[in-house]
Structure 1
Amino acid sequence: MDFLKVDYSSQGTTLASFDNIADKLSRDIQLKINDAFYRIVDFEFYAYSETIPDPHTYKHDLQLEPNKFYLHGSGVDITFGDGKNHGGILLRSVVKLFDGSDKLTGYMKNQIDGPQKVATELFSNLNSLNTNGANDIRIIDLEGHNQDNQFFPGEYILKTSRVGLTPKKTDSSNHYLNLNLRYIIIMQRFPKFKQKVKGIETIIRSKVASGELDAEKAKIILGYTLK
């Protein structure tokens, strides 16, 4: 999957690659596990290379490979390594699609929030161990051809710092600790579906205070005016 390719030649090109991947996830990407479909709405990037030696990256061998599931103590990554450099996207929140949903929900059934809950949800779709059926696990790229109009693009991508990390001695300035490597895809609202983002008001207040968001955009994201 070319959209997961990262240009590690500099920190700037690496971060630009992350932005491109997030944009693609927002517009076109479904995750299929057997009969279940999901979209990824909250995720964090972890990478370790000469140009972005993020000490919070596990640097597992699986993170050297592209397009793999890497299950670990914090949850599950989709990897984007290139054989030399490590990379993984931690899935923080996903939305289950289609099953039992309709236009009033935007074809989104329910949201699974939290990395470990996401990992449990995704792997719960695997076939029973006492069956002979092969598992179908794929990333589906709509490539802009959403003919059934059942996959609504994200309305805004909110970038913020990652969750639950602690300072590292090799990052004395906390550069990587504070780097905005968490991406939250803000979805369109529907009468019967409302996205959950824990701590969204705190994130929005910070963005408004720093000038990254104006009050009108903050209102659009939240659905109400901040006091």
Structure 2
Amino acid sequence: MKTRLQKSIGENIEPNCFPQTAQLLLNSTRFIVLQQSYRLLEIEFYYYSDQHPDPFTHCDPLQKTSDRWYFHRDGGSYRGGSFKGLDISFGPENTFGGILIRTIAADDGTIINGCSLCVDHLLAQTQFQNIAALDEAINERSIWDKSSPLHLEHLSDTEPTPRKLIMTPRVGLTLKRMSKNCEMPRYIMRPYRFLTEPAIKKGKVYNILALYNQGNSIDDIKKITNSPLHIIKKYVDAFHHGQSLKNFDSYQGKFLTNTELCSLYGTVHPRTHGEHLPN
């Protein structure tokens, strides 16, 4: 019999089901690397369909499967350097879906933060020299297959104190290619990132923005994220500045600083989910 998580990944692939699936992955699941157990602390969802053409989804053929490990590829070759990443695939039929693992924590409290660093850690723990060798050892097995070097275990009950989820935009996305894909502004700030540790360093700017937009005070955000007060105020000011902008011209074609990200969040929000985006 399938567990709730197995059903969620295999069947509930619509974006409105992302929070439910994230809750199960972050609070009711163990990530097993050989015999070592980890918790998932931070994940991101990528999903592409005719009705939801998210341009930031890789759309690799493996993302049209469910319950498989997908190491990020480009043109059939495994990505290297800071572009490495590992997804849980969830894209049956004519859709593409991947849940990116961004941060994990070992039982001894060690935190591995960053999708490429997570892959590096998996290689070190399994003692495979490269991604190709590890992927070959996995041999297309399900994420639930306990004979695989990597697998997930669904706990029978949630942990005694389920950790609160924070929903934010995904990390590292830009509008560099907006001229080639007009859908980018509509999806760049969707709240498809989920984490349980708001003090995680990478992507903290998104945590601050999401907490502020959810009604938290600046002082509360400081306590939750351990961020300096002057940085939070700077980000909030940039957010409000972005709300006054009428288009995305100033963000197009470049990497964005944290301040520019805050401004972009203001320009997009709250119109991301509606039909009234700036031209």
* TM more than 0.5: yes
Match of 1:5 in 2: 10
1:48 is aligned to 2:48: yes
1:163 is aligned to 2:171: yes
Match of 2:191 in 1: 180
1:61-110 per-residue CA deviation (whole Å, 9 max, x = no partner) reads 1101111111122311111111321100111111112xxx3xxxxxxx20
Q: Structure 2 CA distance, aligned partners of 1:204 and 1:123?
A: 29
What stretches of structure 1 of length at least 5 have no aligned partner? 9-13, 102-108, 188-194
Match of 1:137 in 2: 150
Amino acid at match of 2:170: R
Q: Structure 2 CA distance, aligned partners of 1:61 and 1:224?
A: 40
Pick which of 41-50 and 157-166 moved more. Answer: 157-166
1:88 is aligned to 2:101: no
Match of 2:237 in 1: none
1:203 is aligned to 2:169: no
Q: How many positions carry a matched residue from both structures?
A: 195
Match of 2:18 in 1: 18
Match of 1:106 in 2: none
1:3-38 per-residue CA deviation (whole Å, 9 max, x = no partner) reads 313545xxxxx2221111111122201111211111
Q: Structure 1 CA distance, aligned partners of 2:183 and 2:122?
A: 36
Give the superposition deviation at 1:208. 4.8
Structure 1 runs of 4+ aligned residues shifted over 6 Å read none
User: Is the alpha carbon distance of 1:87 and 1:199 closer, same or farther for their aligned partners in structure 2, counting shifts above 3 Å?
Assistant: closer
RMSD value, Cα: 2.8
User: Secondary structure in 2 aligned to 1:178?
Assistant: coil
User: Secondary structure in 2 aligned to 1:20?
Assistant: helix
Q: Structure 1 CA distance, aligned partners of 2:195 and 2:30?
A: 16
Q: Please identify which structure carries the higher strand content.
A: 1
> Is the 1:71–1:77 contact (alpha carbons within 8 Å) kept by the matching residues of 2?
yes
> Is the 1:6–1:17 contact (alpha carbons within 8 Å) kept by the matching residues of 2?
no
> Is the 2:53–2:183 contact (alpha carbons within 8 Å) kept by the matching residues of 1?
no
Find the structure with the greater CA-based Rg.
2
Q: Please identify which structure carries the higher helix content.
A: 2
Give the superposition deviation at 1:140. 0.5
1:66 is aligned to 2:84: no
Taking structure 2 as the reference length, the TM-score comes to 0.61
> Is the 1:30–1:141 contact (alpha carbons within 8 Å) kept by the matching residues of 2?
yes
Match of 2:76 in 1: none
1:171-204 per-residue CA deviation (whole Å, 9 max, x = no partner) reads 35601112111112237xxxxxxx633353x335
> Is the 1:31–1:37 contact (alpha carbons within 8 Å) kept by the matching residues of 2?
yes
User: Secondary structure in 1 aligned to 2:56?
Assistant: coil
What stretches of structure 2 of length at least 5 have no aligned partner? 1-5, 73-78, 138-146, 231-279
Higher relative contact order (CA 8 A, sep 6+): 1
Q: Structure 2 CA distance, aligned partners of 1:174 and 1:165?
A: 10
